[in-house]
Amino acid sequence: MRIEIVPVFEDNYAYIVICPQTNQAAAVDPAQADPVLRRVEQLGVDLCAIWTTHHHWDHVSGHEAIVARYPSLEVLGSPNSGRIPCLTRSIGDGEQIALGSLRFRAVATPGHTLDAICYINDRVAFTGDTLFCSGCGRLFEGSAELMYQSLNDKLAVLMREDTAIYPGHEYTEKNVAFARSLTPADAELTAYGERIAALRKAEKPSVPSDWSTERRFNPFLRCQSRALAEAVGGDVGDPVAVFAEVRRRRDAY
Ligand SMILES: [Zn+2]
């Protein structure tokens, strides 16, 4: 499997997933048509699908122009919002998706929006605005409890330690700064933040991350830990309340 990172807008990422055996490709959240189409043509791949993580404009704004160029494209996404342009295939939780010889699973992860879907296989996960590197999406439509379950129950069971995480935005530097503000004595987190800052200074993407890194440094995956509960004055026996408080503080950060 090959994955191309295509930066779009100010800090969004679109991705092109390619099956090396068949040359078939899918574009994940190709929110700006021109850079994605240019890369598809440079690569000479057979674009056959768009995979949508959720309906927000900075994830779906390229759909119409890309479908105009490739009218037989399959456009996947959740039907829940009714706001994904050009949708041709409504995806349900747990549904299998084929791309050439590659197999993915769609996982409904409500929280940021109610139509949020992650596309996962045993090596990579496209997590949209559900899971970021060292962060998670704002709760625009779902509750803290719903997002907590999406991350800590639904996604966690499907991840391997080395599953590569491809999120919808380049937010890592600010997310790590926020995480450091919660647990400033964590020397490994400080060192991680310095590595991320060096990458960004060199104008390189901080993505992909991997699940073991996220489990170690992402505060939204560490709400069961005593250190984090104490950092936000929460109850170690109530990780959903800790999660809600961490999210509230991140919103204000
Ligand atoms: Zn969004």
What is the rounded radius of gyration, in angstroms, for the C-alpha atoms of the chain?
A: 18
Contacts for 162 with CB less than 8 Å, ≥ 6 apart:
123, 210, 211, 212
pLDDT, tens only, 130-157: 999 999 999 999 999 999 999 999 999 9
Catalytic residues, by residue number, are: 54, 56, 58-59, 112, 129, 169
Question: Which ranges of the chain have pLDDT less than 50?
Answer: none
Domains for the chain: give ranges and CATH numbers: 2-252 (3.60.15.10)
Estimate the crossing angle of helix 172-182 against helix 187-201, to 10 degrees.
Answer: 160
Q: 220 with 151: CB under 8 angstroms?
A: yes
162-174 confidence digits (pLDDT tens): 999 999 999 999 9
How far is the C-alpha of 204 from the C-alpha of 81, rounded, in Å? Answer: 34
> What's the predicted TM-score (pTM) here?
0.98
Rounded Cα gap, residues 143 and 252, in angstroms = 17
- Cα of 76 vs centre of ligand 1, distance in Å, is 16
For residue 22, report the distance from its CA to the centre of ligand 1, in Å.
31
| CA–centroid distance, residue 47 to ligand 1 (Å) | 24
User: What spacing in Å lies between the alpha carbon of 113 and ligand 1's midpoint?
Assistant: 7
